[in-house]
Every structure is written in structure tokens, then in C-alpha cells.
Amino acid sequence: MNSVDLAFLPALEQARLIRNKDISPLELAEIYLERIERLNPALGAYVTVMAEQALADARAKTEHLASNPENLPPLFGVTVSVKDLNPVGGVPCAYGLKAACNLIAPEDDYIVSKLRQSGLIILGKTATSQLGSLPYTEPPGFPPARNPWNLDYTPGGSSGGGAAALAAGLCAISQGSDGGGSLRGPAFCCGLVGMKAARGRISFSPAGERLNGLAVNGPLGRTVADTAALLDVLSGYEAGDPYWLPDPEPSFLAGLDTPPRPLRIGYATRLDPIGEVDPICRQAIYETVQQVEDLGHRAEEVVFPNLKDLIDPFVVVWQSVLTEVDVPWVVMEKMNRWLYWRAWRINSGAYLRSVAKLQQVARQIVKFCQPYDVLILPVYMHPTIKVGEWKRLRSPQVLDNVINWVAPCPPFNASGQPALAIPRGFAPNGLPIGVQLVGRPADEATLLALAAQLEQVSPWSHQRPAFATKVGGT
């Protein structure tokens, strides 16, 4: 197996080769670091490459494997990338701010410690939009992150760097976060599996979550099983968490061994007041509906609740984080400055009314979803945009465009329900598209089981962007 095949091998398959001693963690880390050195300058996926730390960790794990080959965690020795919103001790954490690119994080974030404890090797920090606020990854002062399927297009955001890295074979699996689609959108743009876990599934320790329950850390994977395995790694309660869920039994990965019972599934291709989804994305939903019916599930078209009462309060809460972070507005990009001043003019009473309104709308969404085991919806309302496509627009126009693109994602950040983006083929321009599976509260397991069935019917992990398939030196 050549280095390209190894780089694109699913993470759990890599872990199996490691356990069988067919390849070592050090050999895999070296393959990825060579690929990062060669491809990242054009891709902009990583903002910090932790080559020395990764190699030292890989050597230690290779030595450990020689003397302790038993009882290894499922992802032992596999490589992972970390989003540059999550601190890694001793490494810069810039949050997409050029002014902060030399600030060294004093300690690991909680989920970074979970990655280490699971035996994963961290290759580096991946690009995010500035302060994680936008669905494309073009922070001023950094190269824009680009989509490996076509470098003229965005990999999405704000977890765009992690998605670009994974889709290009620059890591085996990626960590990201999702406060309004920031995992599901990049998965859609790059042909990956992206999970927004249920609220309370993954701790935000030691920092506060800041967005009143909207945001959650989570996994990006090439396959459903890889995504489930990383979700198992990240999940768990930490003392003092404001909300939490018990660990699943069995684990999310083990749960994939049991196919789901026949499910009642709803689907929609229209989200008012935005309107009908783009025809390319609509066709992906129809094809998915046909496949789930062929698998023995029952699907019916539904009229999703109108989102008009969600949009304004969601924006109020979402933009408020820009006034909460300890960052002077003068170092922010144009769009974030505009959002900062909008947020600054809103008093605490208006903010709390927006929170209360979000909770009311969230109750309506959960109540609507309750009769269905799963909903099939768009991820985004239209296919991927180009890098810099909205750069020259006025900030209010950018906000309208963002709302009209990402509309299917925020409802489930508000409701706290789990939601999973899965690949569903390609648009005529060669860029990936996907659909979103939404579950009942705390029921990631059913989403993963259904997605695994769909993956068996229409496998996707063998697809590779031409940009990333050349062997080094050729």
C-alpha cells in the first residue's frame, strides 16, 4: 500500500494496521507530515504544524506498542487535527486573529486532553474563521483555507481547516466545533461526515460554552464508524458542567454493529421563510429518501416549522460572543467589527429576551420532531461558494447571504438535538454535496446507525480529490 492509500485509509483501519504491527504510529505520522509540508501551502488547512511534538509522540507510541500490544484504545496511534479555537498546551492558539498568532496556550483544553488519553497523535492546529463566527474560513492575515476538491472554493467554516485537512489526506480524523453549522457545513462542502452532538454530550471544560448551549465540540470523519469512534473519545461529563448526558451504552462505535429497527422518517426540501432548497441539494434529499425506503424505513414529506421567529434571536445570541471575548474590536475583520457594534448596542434585557425566545422556538422544533425517529433535511440551502465570493459585499448583505445559506443548521443548535451531515455525491461542478440527518434529543445512536446503512448502500470514503492524490516527489 503506497503512502496516498495509507493517508486516505479510514482511521479505524489505520488503527487495525497499527495493532497488527503492519505499520507503526511513527510511519503514519511521517507520511502525514510529509503531505502537510507539500500540500498545505496551497490548501491553507493548518495554521500551526506540530511536527516535532507529533514525531516525539509517535515514537513513544511506537515503543509502547512493542512492549504493550494489548488493550489499546480503538484509535491508538492514529493522527488527528485540532481546530484553532481549542488550546493545545505549549502551542499558539490564535482563534483566527493575526494579532494573537504568537500567543502560547498554557495548557490543553479538556477535549485535547481527551484526544491525548485516547492515544491519538495531534499533528497541528487547523484554520478557523476569525473567532469562529463565519461559515467560510478566510481570516485576515492568514491564507484562506481552500477546498481540496477545487481550490477556488471554500471548505466551509468555521471548522474549514479541519475539513480541508481531512478531505485532502492531511490527517486521519479531525476535531471541530459547531455553533450554527460549523461542523456540518464543512462536512457538506468537503464530502465528509460531520456530527453536531446533542447538547451536554461533550464537556466545554474548563472554559464556559459562552453561547447559551448553542455550540458543541465534535468530530469530522471519512466514515460513519470513524466519526462514531471520535465521538466516543470526546464524550463525557466533567464536574461542574451546566448540562450533561450519561455515556451511551453500548458506545456509539459498538452500536453500529446493530442495524436500526424500521424507522419513521420525515423529510423536507423547503424551509420558510428562506424558501425551497437549491435543486441540486433537493435531488440529494430525494435520492436519500428513496434509499431509506429501500432499506425498509417509512418516509413522509413534512412541512418544517417556519424559522422566522428563530433568525433574529439566534443572530443576537450568536453575535454576542464578539463582545464577550477579550479582543479589541480594532483587530477584528470588517464583518466581525460590524457584528461587534450591533451586539454592543443591545442591552442585557434584550439579550435575555432573545435567549428566552430561542428556548420557546426550540421547544416548538423538538415537539414537531417528536413523532419521527429521524428527519432528512438539507445541510445548506445551496452548494459551496467560492473563496472570497462575498468579500466585497456590505456587511448587512453578507449576513443575509449567510442566513440564506446555512439556514437548515441553526435550528438544531437552538434545540440541542443531534444532527449529522453525510456525503451524498457531487454537484455538476465536481464539488461534494450532502444531506443532514436530525435525531431526537440525545439520540445520536439512531442517526449513526441509519448513516451506516446508507454508507453501505452508497460508499463514499473511497472518493479522493485529484489535488491530493499525487505521491510525494511525483
- Annotated active-site positions, please? 83, 158, 182
* 176, 195 Cβ separation under 8 angstroms: no
Strand partners, 248: none
Burial of residue 162 (number of CB atoms within 10 Å: 0-12, 13-18, 19+): buried
Closest alpha carbon to 377 in 453, 288, 314: 288
Q: Which residues of 357-396 are buried (b: 16+ CB within 10 A; e: fewer)?
A: bbeebbeebbebbeebbbbbbbbbbebbbebeebeeeebe
Q: Which amino acid is at 170?
A: L
Beta strands 216-221; 298-301: pairing state? unpaired
Question: What string of H, E and C letters represents the secondary structure of 104-136?
Answer: ECCCCCHHHHHHHHCCCEEEEEECCCHHHCCCC
> Is the alpha carbon torsion for 20, 21, 26, 30 positive or negative?
negative
Q: Rounded distance, CA 154 to CA 406, Å?
A: 14
Number of C-beta neighbours around residue 196 at 10 A: 33
SS3 418: coil
- How would you classify residue 71: left for phi > 0, otherwise alpha for psi between -120 and 50, otherwise beta? left
SS3 82: strand
The grid cell for 474 is 511525483
Q: Rounded distance, CA 195 to CA 393, Å?
A: 31
SS3 244: coil
